[in-house]
Every structure is written in structure tokens, then in C-alpha cells.
Structure 1
Amino acid sequence: MDLTSKLAGQPGAEPVPGVPDAWHWSRMIFSFDAVVAGDRVLEMRVMGEYDPALARAVLELARDHAPRVLDSERPLVVLEGLACPGWDFDTVAAVGPEVHEYHGQEDTDLHKATVALFPGWRQEFSGSETLAEARHQFDRGLQPTRLRRDPVPFLRMRYRNERTGSHSEGPDRGLATLDVLRHELSLLPGSPGSVVEWENRLGAVFRAECGADLSVHGPDGSRQTTGDDLAALAERSVLRPEETS
């Protein structure tokens, strides 16, 4: 398959200045940028507000590190080092055709050859995402086609509250937001037998329990705690994991 011709043949496609084998095109509210890397296509899509300088920076970083992207067996690959004036993104994420649906309906061969790219922040990724987690983050967790969005720090958690009857699904920690963690920790005091367990992007696990007192177990061991201290620990462990892992 001639990937260069595939991209150049997209309606309205124009070469990206200064980036060999790269093209830009648009359709309705979407902007597309893609570059050929060996036998694969690295593609970024944006809905709404678009910045060609940012798109170029994403393509160049991904192309420069193409072996890491193309040779990885992970469903989501993280590339640090993104920098573009006017944006504070510091990372490019890449997912393969088992995660994204780009070109899936109109060109199945191109779909299979395409790696989807999007800018993000390092705090959003662990590098240990499962296939199901990568799909969740790409489909709805991180809004990969929107440039104006807030960071969503990586977090896995599970919980059970005996007083409210609320609980997470299944025995394993699943993806969650910091707001959910804050909420469940706020309900922990005065609820004997309840537990909240969470994991940050570095893999450090914390477990807060309500018995006669509140307690928390983490990488540094177990200790008694308070509701306020738990809230502070949640913020620190998720937003600044290097301080607690």
C-alpha cells in the first residue's frame, strides 16, 4: 500500500511545511495532520480550535521517536518532550488501530496502518494502561481531539462504603477521576468497615480504612490519620506522585 499517495489523495490535502511526507487536510469541524513513518501513518485529529504549530510539533516528536511507538506492545505509548509556544502540553500519546477507529469505515487498510496521536500531560498516563483502559481514555476519558481541555491525572481506585452502600464494580482498581477519590474519602469518616484504595501513575498504592479510627496504608507503611490529612494525601499522591511514591 502506498501510504504517501493515500495521504496526498485525501480531499484538500496539502503538504505540511518543513515536515517531509506529512499532509494536512480538513473536513467540516475537523483538522487532520499525518506523517508517513515506514509502513505506518502517524495521525493527529483536532475538533474545533486548531493550531498548525502544535500539530507540527506533535508529528515531529512522534516521527523522531517512531521506533518506540511502532515497536511497542503497549496499547498506549507515551512520548515526553512536547513543547509548543502557547500550550503547556508536555507529552504525546500514541494508540494503535486496536484502540482508535480512524479510517475504520472508509478504508480498512489505512485504518490498520494508522497510529493515532494526541497531545497531553505526563500526569495523565502511567504507561501501564491495559487495552480496555487505553480504549476508555481515548474514547471519552481524555477528549483526545480537543485542544482546550483540563488535565485528567491518571488514577485507579476501588472503594466500598458500608454506610452509603456505594461501591466500585469488580475486585480490581479501575480508572477514576480525582473528584471521585475526593468524594469517597470525604464519606469515609464515621463509616466503619469502609475502604478506599487508590493507585497513582507511578504504581504506588494507598489504602484508607475506617475502623475504630481512620487509618491509611501506603508505600511508607501504616498510620492513623484524619479526614483532612487523607484529602491532602490524595491530592499529593495523584498530582505530585514523586513526593509519595
Structure 2
Amino acid sequence: MDIAAKLSALPNAVPLPGVPDAWEWSPAPGFVLLAALSSDRRHAFRLNTKDSYDAEMCRAVLDFVREREDEVIGRPEPLIALTGFSWAGREFDAVGRVRPEAHRLFPKDPGLNEVVFGVFPGYSVEISGAESVDQAAERYGRMLRSSDMNREPSPYVLVRFDNPKTGAGTIGEQPVFISPDYLVHELRLLEGVEGAYLQLWNHRNEQWDVRWDGLWRVTCGELQLAMSAGEISAWGAEVIR
């Protein structure tokens, strides 16, 4: 497949200044999309922006990805964070990478889609590296707002919980992603409820178990913590960062 020919033929595609074998195009107002070839020209790396295009930073992301392309292409995890990226004026500390099986960047061209890796500036607290394909697709496609170059972190918060008092909870054994604000909200509602529990996984793949028996009982492996009623919200904010 001639990936360069396909990318350069996209509507409005033009060479990306300062980056060889790379193109940018705008399919609609506010959107600027970019793609760069790998060194072997058998793969490409795509970066999407919406209402936040920063040409210099985007070029830096693509350069960073090319420097780490063996990891980008070779690692099997659907979603990873490549730490070590930074940009003045923003707090990004990583570049996220999503494999072709977890995105639909070129849904009308399956052959091209299979050789394109999605990349974006991100935060190490957002990605565990243990995401399944479906979880990676959910994080990249719905939760991370990866096309917003000005966004704040969206920490990885995966939970399974049940609150017999309110009836809220996850269904079955499958944990779900929630926002940090919703985590704090549910922890407050669990306080004082007999039989309630919450299990939390963070980006470090730590599993925390939380229960109330007059105090908060929080465990992670052999670590056991006891907290009073006013301490759980601060703990929840800390453990996901």
C-alpha cells in the first residue's frame, strides 16, 4: 500500500511544514488533522485537533512519536502512554498511542485504518496500559477528548461498586470508567451504608477495596488503611493522581 499517496490525496491535504513525509488537512471548520509516515513507510501516525491547533506543539508530538516508533508500532497493548513528552505552557507529560484495532480514524478505508496509529498529547494518569481493546476505544473515542490540545487531565478511574441504599452500582462483574467527580460523589453516598462497597483501579493498576463499618476501611494488597468520615474524598483524589 502506498500510504503517502493515500494521505496526500485526502481533500485539502498539504505537506506539513518542517516535518518530512507528513501532511495536514482540515475536513471541517475548527478541525486540523495531521499524519506522518513511519521510517519504513509501512505505517502512519495520526493526530487530530479540534478548535485548538498549535502547529509547533503538534509537530513536536509527531517528532516525539517518530523517535519512539519502535514502541509505538511494536508494543501490543491497545493503549499506552509514552512518558517524557513536555511542552512549555502546558502540563502534558506523555504522548498517548492507540492501536488500529481500537480506533476508527479511517472508517471508509479499512486497509489504511489497519496501518495507522492514533497519537495525542496526554497525561500519564490517564492510561494504565492494561486497557482491553474495548476499553481503549472508549477512553480514546469518548473520554479523553484527545483532539483538544488545551484540555486538563482525565484521570483513569475504573470502578465496580454497589450501594444498597441508593440502588446505584455497576452491573455484574464488569467494572466501568467514571469521572473523578463521580468517584467522590459515590464515596460520599457510600458513607454509613452497611453492605456497600467500591473497588477502584487507577492508572498504576493498583486495586483498592473500600468499605464502611463506622470507619472507612481501605485495602490494597497487604496495605490496610482506616479513615474517618471526612478523609475519604481527599484520599480518592490522591489515589487517582
TM-score calculated relative to the size of structure 1: 0.90
The amino acid across from 1:22 in the alignment is A
The unaligned stretches of length 5 or more in structure 2 are: none
Give the match for residue 191 of structure 2.
189
Residues 53 and 84 in structure 1, CA contact (< 8 A), matched pair in contact too:
no
Give the match for residue 34 of structure 1.
35
Mapped partners of 2:216, 2:8: distance in 1: 62
Q: How does 1:102-141 map to 2 (within 5 A)?
A: 102-105=105-108, 107-141=109-143
Give the match for residue 242 of structure 1.
none
CA shift in 2, pair 1:101/1:118, >3 Å: same
- What SS class does the counterpart of residue 192 from structure 1 fall into? coil
Mapped partners of 2:134, 2:70: distance in 1: 24
- Runs of 4+ displaced beyond 4 Å: none
- What SS class does the counterpart of residue 101 from structure 2 fall into? coil
Residues 23 and 35 in structure 1, CA contact (< 8 A), matched pair in contact too:
yes
Mapped partners of 1:232, 1:71: distance in 2: 38
Mapped partners of 2:34, 2:215: distance in 1: 55
Q: Out of 207, 213, 217, which is 1:215 matched to?
A: 217
Which is further off, 208-217 or 228-237? 208-217
CA shift in 2, pair 1:215/1:10, >3 Å: same
Mapped partners of 1:160, 1:118: distance in 2: 34
Answer yes or no: is 1:233 the counterpart of 2:235: yes
Mapped partners of 1:112, 1:208: distance in 2: 41
Q: Out of 143, 146, 169, which is 2:145 matched to?
A: 143
Q: How does 1:16-165 map to 2 (within 5 A)?
A: 16-29=16-29, 30-37=31-38, 38=40, 39-105=42-108, 107-165=109-167
- What SS class does the counterpart of residue 217 from structure 2 fall into? strand
CA RMSD of aligned residues (A): 1.7
Residues 93 and 123 in structure 2, CA contact (< 8 A), matched pair in contact too:
yes
Residues 90 and 150 in structure 2, CA contact (< 8 A), matched pair in contact too:
no
Mapped partners of 2:12, 2:121: distance in 1: 24
User: How far apart are residue 219 of structure 1 and its match?
Assistant: 4.2
- What SS class does the counterpart of residue 228 from structure 1 fall into? coil
How many residue pairs get aligned? The number is 238
Identity of aligned residues (%): 29
CA shift in 2, pair 1:108/1:223, >3 Å: closer
Residues 128 and 204 in structure 2, CA contact (< 8 A), matched pair in contact too:
yes
